[in-house]
Structures are given as structure tokens and as C-alpha cells.
Chains A and B, each alone.
Chain A
Amino acid sequence: MSDEQRFLDRLAERNAQRGNEPSWIAARRQAGAARFEALGFPHRRVEDWKYTNVRDIARTDFTLAGDAEFSPATAAALTLPVDAHRLTFVDGVFAPALSALGDLPAGVQVLPLSQALEDNHEAVGGPLGRLTGVDFSAFAALNTAFMEEGAVVRLAPRTLVEKPIVLQFLSRDGETPVMSHPRILIEAGSGSEATVIEHHVGEVEADNFTNLVEEIILDRGAILTHYKLQEAPLKDRHIASIHVEQARDSRYQSFNLNLGGGLVRNDLVTELNGEGAEAVFNGLFYGQGRQHIDNHTWANHNAPRTFSHENYKGILDDRAHGVFNGKVVVRRDSQQIEADQSNANLLLSDRAEIDTKPELEIYADDVKCAHGATTGQLDENAVFALRTRGIDEQTARGLLTLAFAGEVMDRVKLDAVSARVELTVAGKLPERFNLAGLVETASALNEES
């Protein structure tokens, strides 16, 4: 039996348990399964998958989780300490007991996909799958075949959500490996604004597979800040296909922070469809042990006067392997666009590896584009300089490693997120977060004297 057939058999089992579904869902399921079967798991002869081997996913017999039971104490320890509207999923299954939406502003909906389908499946059916079709990849097709849970976020025009919306995905250390195929759909109405934190985390020994598809639709002038904090357990596999569609004057800011996961692949695509639309891709990947982290990004400038800025930082230790492939595509009539792209990598070990490829495809003539990639090591003179001030070597190296990620991390406005990154990347450092306000205090003292 082929690997693909094993997944299709699991699908058939699951389908047999399902009740009646709206016909459009059943049809998409079928289309997804057919496309997955036709494409098969990607192999490394395919350019987009040249450096990432998914055989471990293909060969593992994953089942689907049947419940969302999770130790509340463990969940509490894993949850980001932020005051937020929170939905939690355990191995892809919605966990009401671990969710707390609180009071959402009028015009704002945050709900599990299952609930959204039950409330009004037609409202979901329109946008769902429009950006990420089954042709995007075998994984997107597989997700479509299995889709049943996830999150739907809808912002009515001109609504502002002050607290972040947290979508938490917990991976459980179960008896056998499980897979989940969550869908996230975010529709931000014109002039609305929100911050979404997608947080992937789990029990240390978990050994699962998350195959995520996200579609984000920003209407005129909508502003979305999207943190993807990926702290999955080190044996977990994580594949994410994220598509963003941006209307005129919208702004999408992504923080793609990858700290965990054994095998990780993110595809992040934005379609800049309206003048004045801007996308900011901030990325950080930190790999240790034998982690493999692959980020593919696309900024498609489909309209004139659109803007994209990308800055990805990679830090690789031990035998970790990082992949960065960033593509900027400027359509023929997309004049006066600005795009810049940079990927800098820090190798902390001789055996760590990075494959980086920034690409520009420009079919317009009046454009401002820049790209570059660098790879280096820690500055030993700086390590020495810090140590001569009494700072121990481990802290000095941690500080400098974190400093390398600085430009990306300085933009993170949520201390709870920064603190998680800092702890993973640099270990325990002397109270970096206690500096806020110190200098202002000093300046005030100066003015008094």
C-alpha cells in the first residue's frame, strides 16, 4: 500500500463516522482527496521541496484524535501569559475547557470552525478555500480532505480588538502519533484592526503532525498583526500554508517565530492586490539538535504602489538545518512598488546548515527592490569584550545570539512573546525586561539636576 493510500484510508474511516454534511464540504473533501492522490507527497526533485524531506510524515501512520483532554496544569504552564481572547485546540480538537473568549467587542467573532459551520455554513463556504486551493500543494489538498476544525475570526468594518486573539494549538504526548488538519480563516473588514497570536506548543514527548491551512483576507485599510509562535515539541512535524489577500491600504505584519518542531515547513504568501497595501514579514528561526526548519515566502505585488518588507533571521546550532526561500514577484503593470528582503543567518555549530535563496521576479520597470542574504558566526571579539566586563561566557554568547535576532525582536511589542523567544534562543539572561523606563528615569533625573 502506498503512503498516500494509507492517509486516504484514514480519511475513509473518518468519513464513515461523519453525519450529514453540507454538499459543498463533501465536494471539497473529495476534490482534496483526489488532488492529494494525484500529487502525492512532494519529493525532493520538486524545486520547492529540494531541501526538505517529508518522508517521515509520509511513512508514519497517524490517526485522528478523538477528544481534547489535556491536563489543565500542563496547559496553564504552556499558555502564553497574556490577557487575550483565547481559543484552544488539543491535537486539532476544540477544547472549550481550555478556551476563554471573554468579552469580544461588538462586530467581532472568534469561534471554532465547527461552530461557524453550524451557525452558518454558507458564510464559511464562500471564503474558505478561495486563497488556498487544493492545487497549492499536496499538504493543502490533504488538509482540505480532512478539514473539520480550526478557527474563524471575523472583524466587522472599523472594529478594533484591543486584546490579542490567541489561537492555541496543543500537541499531546499520546500513545500513538496523531495528525490534525486545522483551518484558520480570518476576515478583517475595512478599517478594522486586530492582533492574532497563533501559538503552537505541546508536551515535550509529543510526536504528532499538524497540517495547517490559513486564509487571511484583509479588506480596505484593515490592519492585522499576526504572530505565529511555533514552539511545538521537538518530535512534532508542522506544515503550514498561509495565504493572505490584501486590499487597498491594508497592512499585514507577520512575525513568523519558529523555535520548536522537528520538521517544520511554512509557506507564507501574500497577494498585494490594492494600491497602498503593505506587508511586513518578520521571521526568526532557531534550530538545535536535528531540527529542520523551512520557510518559503512569496510577496506578490499585483497592484502598483504596493510595499513589502521582509527580514528573516536564522540561528542554527548543533546539526540543525534551515531553509529560507523568499520570492518577490512584481507584475507587469505594478509600477512604483517597493520591496526589500533580507535573510541573515548565524551558525553556532560547524555541523549546522543553511540553504538560503532570496529571489526577485520583476516584470515592471519603475520599482525599488533590494535583497540579500548573509551567513556568519558569533563575533568572538564581542564575546571576549563582554567577558572582560565580568559577564560569564554562556550569558555573553546568549546575549549576542539574541542581539543577532535584534532587528526582528525589537519589533515584537508583546513581552510574553519576547520572553519565550529569549529563553529558547539565549537561555536565562539577566533581566532584559527590567530595563524599560530606566533610561527615561535617568533622563528625568538629569533634567532636574
Chain B
Amino acid sequence: MLEVKDLHVTVEGSEILKGLSLTIQPGEVHALMGPNGAGKSTLSAVIAGKDGYEVTSGSITFDGQDVLEMEIEERAQAGLLLGFQYPVEIPGVKNIYLLKAALNAQRAARGEEEIAAPDFMKLVKEKVSFMKMDTSFLQRAVNEGFSGGEKKRNEILQMLVLQPKLAMLDEIDSGLDIDAMRVVADGVNSLRGDDKGILLVTHYQRLLDYIVPDRVHVLVDGRIAKSGDAELARELESRGYDWVVEDSAA
């Protein structure tokens, strides 16, 4: 469903991604790992359409569409959703409003009618309790004054309501205690499905004990240096990244 080919990206003149290629098939969970500064977050930011990243060559297609030609909101409407490492606080915009407006924007893009209020609330209520959140969260402004863990739960809550075809989760495990990690991991696991893909960007293997990936990639210096299955993540946990870095330099 997602195909990234030989992607080169520069940020403020310096090249961060240097020929990255990655294919995600429906039903697969991929983990993108690597040392700090390898460009892990850059990939998901470029796919989501963040400003300040220049694609100098290569391509990204999603379900056959050229992602780089799509507006940011069109990418989301097509089912490509980014979960932020640092979720943005949006004062004055209530969570409930964001969820409703986003869900209806997605439905409108598919030519569907707006969701009826009772159906919407039933859906939201179910997802809120799944994420072990209180309904009072819905009335609060998006992420405003939320703790780190609450913000991450809120990202997953949005995913559960919007049901992306491909969820890209950027360091979704950072700043989580073990209980919150379980809740977040349960949320992510519930997004899995035969027609859905997940891309986890993470520095640590810990998360992958809860969300077992089909494929693990190690990003070193803007390129995927090594790929494998879940076993590779465990190897990285015990051996660190250095050996991959050295192997790739050799």
C-alpha cells in the first residue's frame, strides 16, 4: 500500500534521507529503528507533508497515488495518518470538535454522509473507554495542559476514531510509563487488520514487546542499513546500534 522509492530529503540544505526505500503491504506492521539523528522522524514527517522538508529525488506512493502531489489534508483523508512524537496543543479547539470535524472530513472525501450524532458519540465513547480516558477529555482543548502520557493516548484515540489505512506513529512510546505503554500498545494493536498497515518509528525495542512487528528496519545515516523480523529488534536491544552502523560503513 505504501511504497517509498530511493527517497532523498534535505532540511535546510543538509541531506537527511539519502536514498531510503521501504514497502509496506496491507496487514503489516513495520518498525523503523535507528540511532538518534538517523532521519527516522523525517520519513513520517515527509509522508504527512510537513513544511521545511525538500524532496530532491525519489517517490512516495500510497495505494497507487503520488503522495507528494497531495495536499496535507488529502493524505489524511486517503487514510494516511501521522501520530506525533510531540502532539501539538491547540487551545480553544475541543477534542470532541476535532474528532467530529476530522471524521466528517474523511467521510465527505469518500462521498459519504456526515455521521449521525448518536452513532458518533457511541463510537467515541467506546474508543475513549478503550483508551482508559475519561469523557471529560472530550470537552478539553486538544492537548492543552495534557501530560505527556495523556497526549499520546489522545493521538491513539484519534487513530481509533479515524481508522487510518496506514498509521505512522512517531516515537509513540516516548515519555510513557509502563501502564500507559500497555494502553497505547493495546490501542495500536487494535488498529491492526488485514487491510491496514502500521509504521512504528521508535528508538527503543521496549515498545516492540507489546506491538510485535512483521518487519524491522534499521535506519543509519539516511538509508535503511538492515532489515529483518522481530528478532532483529531484540538483537538491537542487546547489542546496540553500533554494529549495524559499522556493518553499513564497511
Instruction: Report A's interface with B, CB cutoff 8 A.
Output: 379-382, 384-393, 395-396, 399-400, 402-404, 406, 429-432, 434-435, 438-439, 441-443, 445-446, 449
Contact = CB atoms under 8 A, between A and B. Distances in A.
A387 B121 contact: no
Contacts of B90: 379, 382, 385-386, 400, 403
A77 B156 CA distance: 44
A442 B49 contact: no
Given A382-B89, A388-B73, A389-B102, 17 more contacts: A379-B90, A384-B72, A387-B71, A388-B75, A388-B76, A389-B105, A390-B76, A390-B106, A391-B98, A392-B73, A399-B101, A403-B91, A403-B92, A435-B94, A435-B96, A442-B128, A443-B136
B100 interface: yes
B178 interface: no
Contacts of A380: 51
Contacts of B102: 389-391
Given A388-B49, A389-B162, A435-B94, A446 B100 contact: no
Contacts of B239: none
Most buried by A among B81, B92, B125, B136: B92
A432 B97 contact: yes
B138 A393 contact: no
A391 B108 CA distance: 11
11 contacts: A385-B88, A385-B142, A386-B90, A387-B71, A390-B73, A391-B98, A404-B92, A406-B91, A438-B121, A439-B136, A445-B125
Nearest to A396: B73
A8 to B, nearest CB: 49
B65 interface: no
Interface in B65-90: 71-73, 75-77, 81-82, 84, 87-90
B129 A430 contact: no
B250 interface: no
B135 interface: yes
5 A-B pairs with the lowest CB-CB distances in the bound complex, closest first: A403-B92, A406-B92, A390-B76, A389-B102, A385-B88
Interface in B87-137: 87-94, 96-98, 100-102, 104-106, 109, 117-118, 120-122, 124-125, 128-129, 135-136
Given A381-B88, A385-B88, A430-B100, A399 B93 contact: yes
Nearest to B138: A439
A390 B77 contact: yes
Contacts of A404: 92
Given A395-B101, A406-B91, A387 B96 contact: no
B71 A393 contact: yes
A442 B124 contact: yes
A446 B125 contact: yes
B135 A391 contact: no
Contact of A384 (B50, B96, B128): B50
Nearest to B158: A389
Contacts of A396: 73
Nearest to A387: B72
B122 A445 contact: yes
B162 to A, nearest CB: 7
Contact of B129 (A385, A388, A439, A446): A446
A430 B125 contact: no
B139 interface: yes
Contacts of B220: none
